Structure 1
């Protein structure tokens, strides 16, 4: 799992690439990205499966908001955190959410 950030010079956004390794994806058939940036809609952002077995999604996040909480949803059943997140925040439901800072 990893987060890659690229700040755009022409707009106040950061392009963030969310990537889940083949090992971390395990046998998942579909993985979705949910968080503050999409009102936690568990089906709004399907991650793209790659031939390598990895999953990826790229979002442009506004830098006016310094951080966003998020999680991955595997096969519509199991929530997972980003192993290399910038931080973690207690979510009051089942543990912690991952945090990406822009």
Structure 2
């Protein structure tokens, strides 16, 4: 799930996954972090989900994917679009 908070010059996007699906650590990688695993790792929230928030430029498009344990790559079914093997979001 993607949560967006629009600010004057940026959009804060929170990437949210259930606590146990998939099991183990998960990071979100994409254009915004040069596809570097581990830069944006999802952490536990009080509601039982895992999340990480990233500030992105307003009016931009970003490709991303999730990377789980065991080199498990997967997309976000709630993304704005799919671009080949990647999820896409528009801020």
| 1:17 alignment partner in structure 2 | 14
1:81 aligns with 2:70: no
Distance 2:4 2:45 in 1: 20
| 2:2 alignment partner in structure 1 | 3
Query: 1:21 Cα deviation (Å)?
Result: 2.1
Distance 1:50 1:7 in 2: 21
TM-score (norm 1): 0.80
> Looking at CA atoms only, which structure, 1 or 2, has the larger radius of gyration?
1
> Residue deviations 1:45-65, cap 9 Å, x none?
11113465521010100115x
TM-score (norm 2): 0.89
Distance 1:53 1:97 in 2: 26
Structure 1: segments with no counterpart, 5+ residues: 91-95
1:32 aligns with 2:27: yes
- Structure with the higher fraction of residues in strand conformation: 2
* Moved >3 Å (runs of 4+): 50-53
> Residue deviations 1:39-97, cap 9 Å, x none?
00012111113465521010100115x2000000011510010010000101xxxxx10
